[in-house]
Structure 1
């Protein structure tokens, strides 16, 4: 299935006729061609800095031609990056660790958040008896897709509740309307999702918050520490060959992270495409309000967080199990570019 989706995405990209920036362009600091970035769900608030930067004119101000594309799942987005048809992915940092165990060098260049930005939502009808991870037993739990970051986090939460993945049923629920439909029709009893999906379920009374990982406090309570998630990650070789472009990307994105810290949810929401509000601007502003605090404002990775991600993956990712000591975390992210962004 992943191969099919990757091939489909690559075919779609090929139709655009866009080519990436060459090393010669990079050496001169020019941006002669577009930089294509695949976003693992472009309308998800957790990945908002990418589109917001475009809306604010941040990429253009740096002289960059950035093309934002979208895939509903980060696991699928990474396949397009590996194929070389995009230059970067906005997705969960944990993919850089997973890919290193497969012999790929992928590095996070801008870390948007130190927390997952995810919410474990329980269907209203199940809320009285499903009150924490220890109650997962016998229930159907929604994740974006098997092998996704939400899948690994769900397994980790179950373990902290004294359970294993054999104690519950994992259901591919996606995000947005597919997730909401799964709650509506009883396909899942609870599941992990992000805003604006979470905001829609909460305001309609269809769901209640079980665990809130949109804040540092909530994340530490649920996971025992930081868990950096949304980020821009790129192929190491491309980064090395296009350092001027990467610095400009970092400049644009970090400035947006700072802009978020200085503006209200309503001001932020107003800058986003109108269709993201799906006809309900107030609900979208609430979604932004509830999640915007997750963004770190500086784009820097915290070492503690990177270690925690490795710890979780070493327990639940089939690709990372047994290879924890072989992973070189220093190659999975860099603060070189974000640390140079002028104040």
Structure 2
């Protein structure tokens, strides 16, 4: 009689090992798929599907570029289903270079870069216009206020700009040309904004320079500088430059815009809501929404500067009438790469996305 005993398991051959491994992998895959389905359901139900976009700003602490951070703080990017990362840079020209290199999706910077680059064969397009005036002020060191009374007195002086090739560079050179000076009559020194600008003026590295709020307010409060040319409102800008000067804007590469019209529209929707918020709220109410470090330690001074320059912002994100023509005229006065070139202004901006946003929001 054959003894009854335990049946030994079959030997673990290659085939059995493969089978066991596949069963384990299948179980893990099912678990992963189940988890993913649950997460997907939760994300969909909460509206958490966000498209990641990176925007670089030519100086986020500057009030001229306030709409970028304000849109984030108000939650308008998220309302459009966007996950937007804002990156800071010292000057608009640095932001422009990052865009051309493909490192970011868009730029919050001055509109004039779209014209300057078209002359170089590169096509950028503004899709939301934040301002109708530069919001810039040409300051003069108090030590030299009796000697520098107009741009004609820039001769032999060192003038501060945020960066070479930046919009402050463009505007400073135009003011000098209107004063009858040539490029070699003065020196431009890139000193950034904020503390670096203030230090350059304190240390007599520059005798005059162009900057924005809150730097303007800081230097005026301490008595270290006086205003030479003020371009914080459309009226003062027209007196200084001969017409409206669309400045701070949101622009992208034309190639990106052609490939991503839906994302562009969502960004335009968010920014237009912000421009409406700015138009319908006081400087104090706007300041309350901004990060506290933007006040540079003096909220009252921040509010004062914003109140003085709030008129620079467009109420709806639209390009001001005759604005592009003024910018082109300014650049043609001194920019050799623009002089003699055929510039198609219709390729430098579009109002279609802002128009669509207005329809969606209600005129």
TM bracket, shorter-chain basis: 0.7 to 0.9
Q: C-alpha distance in 2, partners of 1:283/1:303?
A: 32
1:329 aligns with 2:345: yes
* Alignment partner, residue 42 of structure 1: 60
The within-5 A match list for 1:190-201 is 190-201=208-219
1:57 aligns with 2:75: yes
* Alignment partner, residue 276 of structure 2: 258
**Partner of 2:269: helix, strand, or coil?**
helix
Q: C-alpha distance in 1, partners of 2:49/2:104?
A: 15
**Partner of 1:218: helix, strand, or coil?**
helix
* Alignment partner, residue 24 of structure 1: none
Q: C-alpha distance in 2, partners of 1:279/1:32?
A: 34
Residue 92 to residue 197, structure 1, CA distance change in 2 (3 Å): same
The one of 287, 296, 301 equivalent to 1:269 is: 287
Deviation at 1:31, TM superposition (A): 6.7
The one of 73, 86, 89 equivalent to 1:71 is: 89
Q: C-alpha distance in 1, partners of 2:190/2:155?
A: 17
Q: C-alpha distance in 1, partners of 2:266/2:279?
A: 20
Q: C-alpha distance in 2, partners of 1:235/1:172?
A: 26
Deviation at 1:57, TM superposition (A): 0.7
Deviation at 1:278, TM superposition (A): 2.1
Structure 2 length-normalised TM: 0.83
* Alignment partner, residue 28 of structure 2: none
Cα deviation code 1:171-221 (max 9, x no counterpart):
222111111011111111111000011010011111111111010111011
Deviation at 1:290, TM superposition (A): 2.1
* Alignment partner, residue 133 of structure 1: 151
* Alignment partner, residue 175 of structure 1: 193
* Alignment partner, residue 24 of structure 2: none
**Partner of 1:91: helix, strand, or coil?**
strand
* Residues 141, 171 of structure 1: 8 Å contact kept: yes
* Alignment partner, residue 333 of structure 2: 315
Which segments of 5 or more consecutive residues in structure 2 lack a partner in the other structure?
1-47
Q: C-alpha distance in 1, partners of 2:307/2:131?
A: 15
Deviation at 1:138, TM superposition (A): 2.1
Q: C-alpha distance in 1, partners of 2:220/2:247?
A: 23
**Partner of 1:130: helix, strand, or coil?**
coil
Cα deviation code 1:285-322 (max 9, x no counterpart):
22222222210111111241101111222232243232
Structure 1 length-normalised TM: 0.88
Count matched residues.
312
Whose Rg is larger?
A: 2
The within-5 A match list for 1:149-298 is 149-298=167-316
